[in-house]
């Protein structure tokens, strides 16, 4: 009996020691490493994160998906830790990545609370994701004073980028290769370059109020930021412009301009057109990056992943592209330069190399891309729209959907999914929708004014009847009997107005203008109140269609 007791006690001790060692591990790049997290409290949180594999992953997703989810969470935790330690030195564009991470993680928590992710994401993982989002938001707040010190003018114009929610989440969809621009369209766009000053100015139009009014979008900016035929960095920035317009409440204004100038039927359709064309660039860059090991344009590929991936286009969220992000992250949690930095092309964000060798811009777009990949992996139904594995074949498009003659050829050996023709009932329906939006408030104002006109006409009619009654009363011999306050007309009986006076010899009438002035003042007041109401509604409709998250 004593021997059995000794064996049981020894087994329990071994289990406790093994569990304690496991709690000190974390997953990164498919390997287990020790001592990843500091402090017993954080180790418990991270241990619960890894342990949640047994409760949700293998039951609802494949083993590879579960491993990828844990790798993404570990990579995000490391990059947030890097932000927390270095926020004093990171510039505006570098901190932008932390803001996107906060928004995307908050979106995951909100979708879980609404029941969208209940079959995949458990409450333990939800709590860990929520804590990571809070850390990212806190580090952005801490960095804002230092960003003002670095460049006060730049922060004045674009500080609202940090006040937008960045919780954009679209259902999964695929690009449409029938929307590729022809070589002629691309050729026409070449003479007009999109430089950094012009781009920042147009972005500031969406974020800064002008004379107390938001969405003061100039014709030149709307034309420049929606022009077809651009590629690479310029096209990335055009898509970002449409996203900021939607988040800042200017989407309806931009959509009206698109429909009026027959550029597109809606902002969403324009985004689909641009992401479909951007995908051709992404495929070329991915081939150069992963096959030829040319890492010059890593940041551009990551920009494409997080921008169009955030809009739901799954072709930008490939597994091998995600694996590349894991490989590029160093032990500090950031993303360093692999060779001396060389400025090539127009970057979406401005690069700054930090003293530890990390690149501010590259770290920002990589962390943003990680958060978008995480939502794609956790969202239900992503398997149904996953791009086929390498080597897969697709049937050619019908003749009616073939790309325009002379357009860029797209490599389809990786199994690109082509969806059904989208964006086809564009301009007529868009015109009708915009016209209805414009007329809705105008119709309400017309109804109010018509009602006021009817009230005014009714008042005039009553005044004319009163005057006729007074004239009839003054013409009657003997006036009105003192014991009665009514007089009889052939078809109408009216009370004698109080402003009529009579004497024994004759009846005289003195008409007071006070009631008339009172009616006019009331009508003017009602008109003023209704006009202010209509103006407030129109402004609220413009400003708060997509809410700001005021920090």
Per-residue pLDDT of 96-130, as tens digits, reads: 999 999 999 999 999 999 888 766 788 889 999 99
Task: Identify the band that residue 286 occupies on the pLDDT scale cut at 50, 70 and 90.
Answer: very high
Give 125 or 5, the one with higher predicted confidence: 125
Residues of the chain above pLDDT 90, percent: 38
Is residue 349 within 8 Å of residue 365, measured between CB atoms? yes
- Per-residue pLDDT for 131 more than 70? yes
Helix axes of 92-113 and 360-378: crossing angle, nearest 10 degrees: 10
Task: Identify the band that residue 420 occupies on the pLDDT scale cut at 50, 70 and 90.
Answer: very low
Give 63 or 487, the one with higher predicted confidence: 63
Cβ within 8 Å of residue 292, ≥6 positions away = none
Nearest to 224 by CA among 256, 257, 246: 257
Highest mean pLDDT out of 41-50, 212-221, 345-354, 439-448: 212-221
Least confident of 175-184, 287-296, 346-355, 387-396: 387-396
Give 208 or 105, the one with higher predicted confidence: 105
Least confident of 3-7, 158-162, 256-260: 3-7
Q: Where are the domains of the chain?
A: 1-51, 62-424, 441-472+513-545
Nearest to 331 by CA among 82, 31, 46, 87: 82
Residues of the chain above pLDDT 70, percent: 63
Task: Identify the band that residue 272 occupies on the pLDDT scale cut at 50, 70 and 90.
Answer: very high
**CA distance between the termini of the chain:** 66
Average pLDDT of the residues of the chain:
74
Both structure tokens of 240: 């970002």
- Per-residue pLDDT for 354 more than 90? no
* Chain centroid, CA 269 distance in Å: 15
Positive or negative torsion for Cα 218, 364, 545, 179: positive
pLDDT at 353: 65
DSSP code at position 389:
P
- Per-residue pLDDT for 548 more than 80? no
Residue 238 CB burial class (10 angstroms; 0-12, 13-18, ≥19):
buried
pLDDT at 466: 75
Q: Rounded distance, CA 161 to CA 155, Å? A: 9
What 3-state class would DSSP assign to 298?
helix
Strand spans (E) along 35-82:
none
Residue 66: HSE in the Cβ half-sphere, 13 Å Cα cutoff: 17
Least confident of 303-312, 321-330, 387-396: 387-396
Positive or negative torsion for Cα 308, 310, 313, 314: positive
Task: Identify the band that residue 500 occupies on the pLDDT scale cut at 50, 70 and 90.
Answer: very low
Q: Rounded distance, CA 236 to CA 233, Å? A: 5
pLDDT at 50: 43
Least confident of 249-253, 294-298, 299-303, 476-480: 476-480
Task: Identify the band that residue 66 occupies on the pLDDT scale cut at 50, 70 and 90.
Answer: confident
Average pLDDT over residues 219-243: 93
| Beta bridge mates, 34 | 25
| Beta bridge mates, 336 | 358
Least confident of 27-31, 44-48, 348-352, 542-546: 27-31
* Chain centroid, CA 425 distance in Å: 24
Both structure tokens of 434: 């915009």
Q: What is the DSSP string of 152-188?
A: HHHHHHHGGGGTS--------B---GGGPPPHHHHHH
- Per-residue pLDDT for 436 more than 80? no
- Per-residue pLDDT for 241 more than 80? yes
Q: What is the pLDDT of residues 369-383, one digit of tens each?
A: 999 999 999 886 655
pLDDT at 454: 78
- Per-residue pLDDT for 427 more than 90? no
| Beta bridge mates, 502 | 507
Is residue 160 within 8 Å of residue 543, measured between CB atoms? no
Average pLDDT over residues 440-468: 72
Q: What is the pLDDT of residues 22-65, one digit of tens each?
A: 443 333 333 333 233 333 334 334 434 443 433 333 334 445 67
Element (H, E) at 500: strand 500-502
Both structure tokens of 487: 């007089």
pLDDT at 513: 78
- Per-residue pLDDT for 395 more than 50? no
Q: Rounded distance, CA 115 to CA 68, Å? A: 22
- Per-residue pLDDT for 134 more than 50? yes
Cα–Cα separations (whole angstroms), residue 52 to 123, 126, 166: 9, 10, 27
Q: Say which residue the tokens 């204004």 belong to.
A: 253
Please provide residue 466's backbone torsions phi and psi, each rounded to the nearest 5 degrees: -65, -45
User: What radius of gyration, in Å, describes the C-alpha atoms of the chain?
Assistant: 34
Least confident of 94-98, 154-158, 201-205, 444-448: 444-448
Helix axes of 360-378 and 298-310: crossing angle, nearest 10 degrees: 40
Both structure tokens of 24: 């000190």
pLDDT at 437: 56
Task: Identify the band that residue 316 occupies on the pLDDT scale cut at 50, 70 and 90.
Answer: very high
Is residue 256 within 8 Å of residue 434, measured between CB atoms? yes
The neighbour count for residue 150, using CB atoms within 10 Å, is: 14
- Per-residue pLDDT for 95 more than 50? yes
Give 204 or 420, the one with higher predicted confidence: 204
Q: Rounded distance, CA 180 to CA 423, Å? A: 13
Q: Rounded distance, CA 406 to CA 397, Å? A: 16
Q: Rounded distance, CA 196 to CA 364, Å? A: 18
- Per-residue pLDDT for 315 more than 70? yes
Pinpoint the alpha helices (H) of 164-250.
Answer: 183-189, 196-207, 219-226, 232-247
**Total residue length of the chain:** 551
- Per-residue pLDDT for 271 more than 90? yes
Is residue 283 within 8 Å of residue 305, measured between CB atoms? no
Least confident of 288-292, 442-446, 539-543: 442-446
Helices and strands (H and E) in the chain: how many: 18, 6
Please provide residue 31's backbone torsions phi and psi, each rounded to the nearest 5 degrees: -115, 155
Q: Rounded distance, CA 368 to CA 363, Å? A: 9
Q: Rounded distance, CA 377 to CA 76, Å? A: 14
Please provide residue 495's backbone torsions phi and psi, each rounded to the nearest 5 degrees: -70, 145
What 3-state class would DSSP assign to 496?
coil
What 3-state class would DSSP assign to 446?
helix
């Amino acid at each position: 009996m004593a021997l059995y007791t000794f064996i049981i006690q020894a087994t329990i001790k071994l289990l406790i020691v093994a569990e304690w060692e496991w709690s000190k591990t974390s997953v990164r790049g498919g390997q287990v490493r020790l001592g990843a997290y500091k402090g017993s409290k954080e180790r418990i949180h991270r241990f619960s994160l890894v342990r949640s594999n047994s409760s949700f992953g293998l039951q609802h997703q494949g083993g590879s998906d579960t491993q990828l989810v844990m790798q993404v969470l570990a990579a995000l935790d490391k990059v947030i830790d890097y932000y927390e330690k270095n926020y004093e030195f990171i510039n505006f564009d570098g901190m932008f990545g932390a803001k996107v991470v906060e928004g995307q993680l908050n979106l995951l928590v909100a979708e879980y609370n609404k029941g969208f992710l209940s079959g995949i994401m458990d409450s333990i993982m939800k709590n860990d994701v929520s804590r990571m989002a809070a850390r990212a938001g806190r580090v952005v707040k801490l960095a804002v004073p230092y960003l003002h010190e670095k460049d006060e003018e730049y922060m004045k114009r674009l500080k609202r980028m940090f006040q937008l929610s960045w919780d954009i989440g679209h259902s999964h969809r695929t690009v449409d290769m029938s929307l590729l621009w022809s070589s002629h369209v691309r050729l026409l766009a070449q003479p007009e370059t999109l430089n950094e000053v012009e781009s920042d100015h147009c972005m500031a139009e969406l974020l800064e109020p002008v004379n107390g009014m938001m969405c003061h979008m100039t014709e030149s900016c709307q034309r420049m930021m929606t022009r077809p035929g651009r590629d690479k960095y310029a096209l990335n920035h055009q898509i970002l412009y449409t996203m900021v317009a939607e988040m800042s409440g200017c989407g309806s204004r931009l959509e009206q301009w698109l429909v009026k100038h027959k550029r597109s039927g809606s902002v969403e359709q324009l985004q689909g057109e641009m992401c479909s064309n951007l995908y051709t660039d992404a495929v070329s860059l991915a081939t150069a990056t992963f096959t030829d090991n040319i890492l010059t344009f890593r940041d551009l590929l990551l920009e494409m992943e997080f921008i169009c991936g955030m809009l739901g286009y799954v072709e930008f969220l490939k597994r091998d592209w995600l694996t590349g992000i894991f490989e590029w992250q160093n032990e500090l949690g950031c993303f360093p330069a692999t060779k001396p930095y060389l400025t090539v092309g127009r970057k979406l964000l401005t690069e700054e190399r930090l003293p530890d060798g990390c690149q501010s811009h590259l770290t920002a777009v990589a962390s943003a891309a990680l958060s978008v990949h995480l939502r794609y992996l956790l969202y239900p139904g992503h398997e149904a729209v996953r791009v086929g594995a390498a080597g897969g074949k697709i049937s050619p498009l019908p003749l009616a959907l073939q790309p325009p003659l002379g357009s860029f050829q797209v490599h389809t050996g990786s199994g690109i999914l082509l969806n059904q023709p989208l964006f086809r009932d564009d301009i007529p329906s868009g015109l009708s929708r915009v016209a209805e939006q414009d007329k809705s408030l105008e119709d309400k104002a017309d109804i109010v004014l018509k009602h006021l006109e009817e009230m005014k006409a009714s008042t005039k009619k009553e005044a004319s009847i009163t005057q006729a009654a007074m004239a009839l009363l003054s013409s009657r011999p003997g006036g009105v009997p003192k014991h009665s306050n009514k007089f009889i007309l052939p078809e109408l009986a009216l009370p004698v107005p109080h402003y009529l006076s009579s004497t024994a010899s004759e009846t005289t009438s003195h008409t007071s203008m006070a009631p008339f002035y009172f009616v006019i003042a009331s009508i003017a007041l009602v008109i003023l109140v209704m006009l202010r109401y209509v103006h407030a509604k129109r402004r609220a409709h413009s400003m708060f269609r997509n809410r700001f998250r005021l920090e």
